[in-house]
Amino acid sequence: MFKSGFIGIIGRPNAGKSTLLNKIMGEKIAITTYKPQTTRNKITGIKNLENGQLIFLDTPGIHKAKTPLNKHMINIAIDIFEDMDLILLLVEANTRPHNDDILIIKSLQSIKTPVILVINKIDLAEKKNLLPLIDEFSHLFPFREIMPVSALTGDSLNILMDIICKILPEGPKYFPDDMITDLSERFLAAEIIREKVILLTHQEIPYSTAVVVDSFKEDESKDLIKIHATVNVEKKSQKGILIGKHGSMLKEIGRQARLEMERFFAVRIYLELFIKIKKNWTKDPNMLKEFGY
């Protein structure tokens, strides 16, 4: 019996969705940072097992959105509800459900897709608080299962995987065995650069940045990939911060991004970064479309 299906990973910002995907995959597919709203698009991870193929979709955090960019991110997450074979709703092991958790649960009320509640970050929680939290969530929605885990340490993920395989239907193999994501190399390169921008800068910079890979050329004879990418920001002051004194910030972003790309693509990388100002791009529908949102 071969099991296969599409599993949507949803939850509020910073619940640990991307960390969970990466841990399941055993490979870094989705960028992760300590800052909320890091994920902006659907990120696909294809987990091949002996008797199954699980296609996970990591989604942007669901919250009350105001800007066009954030509204786009919410729509991406909500649009997958009906198309999935299974949904994993990630929540944090707090003492009480968060308001955004309740908002998401309300939006799930009308769907027929089975939902597993995954209580994440149990490595940071007091065990005495878990049972009351499970009880409270169980009264909010008829979850198929409620599973406490730690996406960071991998604690109880093997049990979660067994539950997922039991719930998924019999189905075909959708992707080849050697494929771990359907994302393009250009997209992955842009995401790696954006992650380094988020980690190395502060305040509004991470949320005002869009990365576009202008050129991605492979030179097999030299075992080299040449990448030219543009980091778009909204203000002149943001450009100055990203460049840094004597170009120091941009050099460090490029250095860290290049090292991670070399690990991921398993070839040498030549990376050149440029900065452009695109005023108020996060509020402009045409620019959002241009940047792939």
Same domain, 42 and 86: yes
Supply 272's token pair: 């050149």
How many domains are there within the chain? 2
Same domain, 139 and 58: yes
Same domain, 198 and 154: no
Same domain, 160 and 233: no
HEC string of 110-163 equals CCCCCEEEEEECHHHCCHHHHHHHHHHHHCCCCCCEEEECCCCCCCCHHHHHHH
pLDDT band at 65 (very low <50, low <70, confident <90, very high): low
3-state helix, strand, coil in the chain (%, to 5): 40, 25, 35
pLDDT digits (tens, 9 = 90+) for 147-156: 999 999 999 9
Q: Which domain holds residue 100?
A: 3-167
Same domain, 160 and 256: no
Q: What CATH number has the domain bearing residue 158? A: 3.40.50.300
Taking the C-alpha atoms of residue 128 and residue 154, their distance in angstroms, rounded to an integer, is 21
Taking the C-alpha atoms of residue 26 and residue 32, their distance in angstroms, rounded to an integer, is 14
Taking the C-alpha atoms of residue 285 and residue 288, their distance in angstroms, rounded to an integer, is 5
Same domain, 22 and 163: yes
- For the chain, what is the total number of helices (H) and then of strands (E)? 9, 9
Of residues 229 and 108, which shows the higher confidence score? 229
Half-sphere exposure of 1 (CA within 13 A, CB side): 7
Is the entire prediction scored with pTM above 0.85?
A: no
Same domain, 113 and 245: no
Residue 230 near residue 211 (C-beta atoms within 8 A)? yes
Taking the C-alpha atoms of residue 82 and residue 113, their distance in angstroms, rounded to an integer, is 7
Length of the chain in residues, anyone? 293
Which stretches does DSSP call E strand in 12-128? Answer: 43-49, 52-58, 86-92, 115-120
How many percent of the chain have pLDDT more than 90?
62
Same domain, 113 and 86: yes
pLDDT digits (tens, 9 = 90+) for 4-40: 999 999 998 888 999 999 999 998 888 777 666 677 6
Same domain, 7 and 60: yes
